[in-house]
Amino acid sequence: MIADVNPDEELNQLMQQDSSAANVVQAGNDDIDMVENNQADKENQSGVNLNLSSQDLLEMVDRKGLYVTDKNTSKRVDISTGHEAYFALLAEDMFNIANSYSRPMGDVHNIFYEVSCNRDKLIQVLDAQKKDSKVDPATIPRWQTLEDLALRHTEDTPSFQVVLKAKGLDEVNARKAFLEI
């Protein structure tokens, strides 16, 4: 089992204690649920075939020296399945992105969710937020909780229509697919 942790606080503490802390991977509740319930990766909508075997993922984690720690005991937890390895690698990627953009991990995770866990859009948002960027960050569709809630209503409701008008049909359909509505 992978323990729930606060990536910002826990990772900062570990970095002070251990010079190899960059290899520590922490998982949140959503990741834990997906791993434990053996759910498929619904976020990969890029069309690129990313089908790696569980063994491939486990070998990648081993090569990189990644590990997970239990929040309560601070002990290492074995990564023993392909899903756990996938999320360890994803967490490492998010950690590296946060560091390269000098952003808190929580901000990167929030933006990642707001762009339907699309890594390319995450990078576009972070690039657009740079001071020297010529791209307006507002041009990259991001989703808020109230908009997600509006998508749960029938299409004839005013709230759904407002979101549809603001985001467009393609973006609404993509978000509904992401949210599994």
Mean pLDDT, consecutive 10-residue stretches, the chain (181 aa), reads 41 37 42 47 48 85 88 89 89 94 94 93 93 86 93 93 94 93 89
Half-sphere exposure of residue 81: CA atoms within 13 angstroms, side-chain side: 12
Predicted pLDDT of residue 97: 95
Residue 126 near residue 101 (C-beta atoms within 8 A): yes
User: Which residue is associated with the tokens 């996938």?
Assistant: 86
> Which residues are CB-neighbours of 91 under 8 A, at least 6 positions away?
7, 25, 26, 27, 31
Predicted pLDDT of residue 43: 46
User: Which residue is associated with the tokens 């993922």?
Assistant: 57
What does pTM read for this prediction? 0.66
User: Which residue is associated with the tokens 């590990």?
Assistant: 67
Predicted pLDDT of residue 121: 93
- Long-range contacts of the stretch 164-173 (C-beta < 8 A, 24+): 167/141, 171/141
Predicted pLDDT of residue 50: 59
Predicted pLDDT of residue 49: 46
Predicted pLDDT of residue 127: 93
Q: How far apart are CA 12 and CA 125, in angstroms?
A: 25
Predicted pLDDT of residue 22: 38
Q: State residue 24 phi and psi, 5-degree precision.
A: -90, 130
